[in-house]
Structure formats: C-alpha cells, structure tokens
Amino acid sequence: MSAPTQGPHATRNVFDTDDVSFEAMGGDWDDVAARIRELGEERIVVNMGPQHPSTHGVLRLMLEMDGEYVTEARAGVGYLHTGIEKNMEYRTFTQGVTFCTRMDYLASFFQEVAYCLAVERLLGIEAPERAQIIRVILMELNRISSHFVCLGTGGNELGATTVMTAAFTGREEILRIFESASGLRMNNAFIRPGGVAQDVPAGFVDEVRSRLPKIEKYLTDLADLCLGNPIFKLRTVGVGHLNLAGAMALGITGPILRSAGLPYDARKAKPYCGYETYDFDIPVSNDADSYARVVLRAEECWQSLRIIRQALDRLDNTAGAPVMVEDKKIAWPAQLAISSDGQGNSFEHIRKIMGSSMEALIHHFKLVTEGFRVPAGQVWQTVEHPRGELGVHLVSDGGTRPYRAHFRDPSFNNLQATSIMCEGGQVADVVVAVASIDPVMGGVDR
C-alpha cells in the first residue's frame, strides 16, 4: 500500500492517487524540507509527541502542515492510562482517596475533596467546620501551586528558563506547607470522608502566614517577567484564540472559559465547603487568547491568597474543634494522631484499643479492613479545579465499595480545543496554545 522510502528522513505513504501525505521522523529539518520540495508536495504530517518536551505529560499531537502553518491538529491521548476509576470499585470508600489523589498530580486536594464530598452526600453527613476550613486552605494553596507550574512550564517552553525557576521556587514554599499538614508534598490522601485525617500541627497557622509573603514575591516576579515583557506578549497575544461560542460548544471550563468572557466558577455558582461565606472575586477577560489566560491565572492566585487569609483567621477561632465526624462507624482511622516517631497512631490510642478494650480493637479492625457501608444511590458533585470544573459521579449499591466512580476531569474536555486553537497558526504557536490549555495527562487518562 505504500511506496518505498523517499530519502532518509521522509516517508511517502500512497493510499490512492488523491491522498498523499509525508511523515517527518528525526534528522535535520533542512534535509526533510529539501526532500519534500523535490517531491513537489508541501503537505506534511508531523508527530509532536508522545514524548515531546513541549507537551504536558505524555500527549501526542498530530499536526498536518502546509509549510510553517498548521492546517489540521489532532490530540492523541491514552498513553498514561492508569485504570484508577476501575480500581476504585475494588477498594473501600476511604481507600478510594488514595487512588483519586493521583489522577491530576498537580491538583491532588481538589480530587480528594470532590470525591469525599460525594461520599458524604451519599452518607447524608457533613464534615465539621474546622475540617471544611482546612480543606479550603489546602485547596487554595494547591490552586496557586498548580498555576505556578502552568506559568513556569509555559514560560520555559517559550525559552524563558527564569520564569520556570521563579515559579518552581514559589511552588516549593507551598509544598512545604502541604508536607507540614499531611506529611507528604504530593498525592497526599489527607482528605477523608467525614473530615480530614488529622488536625493540622501546632504552629501551622503561623507557618502559613510566614510563607505567604514569599509566595506573593514570586507571584509578583512572575508577573514582572511575563505580563510586561514585549517578547512574551508577541508570542501569546492573539495566539490560541477561542471565543465564548466555541468554549460553550466544547464544554470548556476554568480559565479558558473565563478568558472568553463568562465568569463561571463553581465556588460561586454551586458553593461547597462554605465558599459562599468568603469574600473573593472571579477574574474574567474578553480577549480569549493565550495572554489573557496567563493574566487570569495570575489574578486567580491573588484571589486565592485573599481566601487563605480569611480561612486562617477562622482556623484560629476554631482551635481544638473536631476535624472528623463523631460517628465512629465512619471516622477512619479512629483518633489518628502522630506518635513520637512521626508516624502512625498515637501510643495512647494503640494502648487503649489493644490493651484495654477488645471491642475497640475489633471495631478498628473491621472499619479499616471492611470499610463502612454507604446507602444505595448516586450523586454528582463538582468543585472548581485549577483547570476548570471537576465533577464526580459516584454510585453506591449499599456496600462498602463504590459500584461506579467516574470523574469529569477538566483537562480532558479542554483538550478538545486544541484543533480550534492551533489550526491556521504557525507550528511554533502550537506550543503556546497547549501551554495555555494547561492539560495534565494524569487527569485525562486516569
């Protein structure tokens, strides 16, 4: 079906007399272009990925080009498939947190919160106020850290390494806060159905407050490096354009939708975790291009800092309050506290359940190994993820494991915009457009 190789770097595939394409594989571009000119064809197909440095994760872009211009762009996904949703059907509801936190590895807390809110709705319970405040603080810090990665890697892909170093150094301040609260920098599995795994350590509020000025400094540095930079603006202004009609037709959410003029944010539209009680704004633009999305993500970080400061004051006022529901048939693991070696249950709790109360030992064993039963039903829960609206469709058949857990990850929907953003532009603009989408393939393939 195909003719022999036409030169060392170009392959000519002939399916019929009217359908001719060329595939470029490595080698010097001048040699490839020269060979194509000899063959009298300008239409070529280039694979960008699935291991290209300008893609976010293992993403494959199939570009059909006419010279330097992209005439057709298609996204190929599935290279990072983990089977997380199917695996959750074979684990208890609490163990499911350990799976979903690993989907979008840059925004773990949002997946944990969305999933736990869905479980809590099926159970008909609500986490204590202090647990809700802790969730808000961690989510908003996570939003900033995720946007830092987006802005930093996007700048690096345009050739500005300083942008990436500033962003990742700022993110490091946030990861240290996560480690202080949960013991882990990423994939925390800290949010649990009914609350959080444990209260934040002593001095946590002061630590966060001491790091906020450093985070603000790096955020300011990023704005100075990017937003007023004429080269950066030349590469991003008018690139990756997607208007509101296109965004609505494709189900696009998050900064991409807000850059097209619609101020939709699940924290305002369908509040959860008490967001309706916090004072913050929803940044919006009408420019609908890559530059507008950079501006919006930077502004969202400032709004997150507003929310965090309000939540820290509330955390001070609720010191000593519970962080897990009182129902011992749900609260897992029971009375978790850090022991002297920095791990596991407190010695006092271990001494009680293993030395003085056989009933407590039996209950703890059954709760951890079998899990708690969730009434039959199904629920749809959404949260405002850094990349858009994250949805969880959770189904229970009355057992101790989910009958079905499905996640509507925003990166998956947003990648549909790749073609519209890239077609008609130059191949160099594809990198800018994909960076402005900010997809994380762990969430796409899950």
3-state secondary structure of 297: helix
User: pTM of the prediction?
Assistant: 0.84
Range of lowest pLDDT (44-58, 146-160, 213-227): 44-58
For residue 160, the tally of other CB atoms under 10 A from its CB is 19
Q: What is the pLDDT of residues 83-132, one digit of tens each?
A: 899 999 999 998 899 998 988 888 999 999 999 999 999 999 999 999 99
Q: Which fold has domain 84-327+371-445?
A: Cytochrome-c3 Hydrogenase; chain B (1.10.645)
Instruction: Say if residue 387's pLDDT is above 90.
Output: yes
Residue 45 pLDDT: 79
Of 190-199, 319-328, 364-373, the range with the lowest mean pLDDT is 364-373
**Of the candidates 142, 175, 160, the residue with the CA atom closest to the CA atom of residue 221:** 160
- Banded pLDDT at 334 (limits 50, 70, 90): very low
For 133-155, write each residue's pLDDT tens digit: 999 999 999 999 999 999 888 88
Where do the domains of the chain lie? 10-76, 84-327+371-445
Listed range (8-12, 32-36, 59-63, 387-391) with the worst mean pLDDT: 8-12
SS3 44: strand
Mapped onto helix, strand or coil, the DSSP state of residue 52 is: coil
- Is a pLDDT exceeding 60 seen at residue 329? yes
Q: Comparing 227-236, 250-259, 396-405, which segment has the lowest mean pLDDT?
A: 227-236
- In this model, does residue 380 exceed pLDDT 90? yes
The DSSP code for 417 is G
Give percent above pLDDT 90 in the chain.
41
- Per-chain mean pLDDT for the chain: 84
pLDDT at 213: 94
pLDDT digits (tens, 9 = 90+) for 299-309: 999 999 999 99
Q: Which two tokens stand for residue 312?
A: 């820290």
At 379, list the tokens: 């629920």
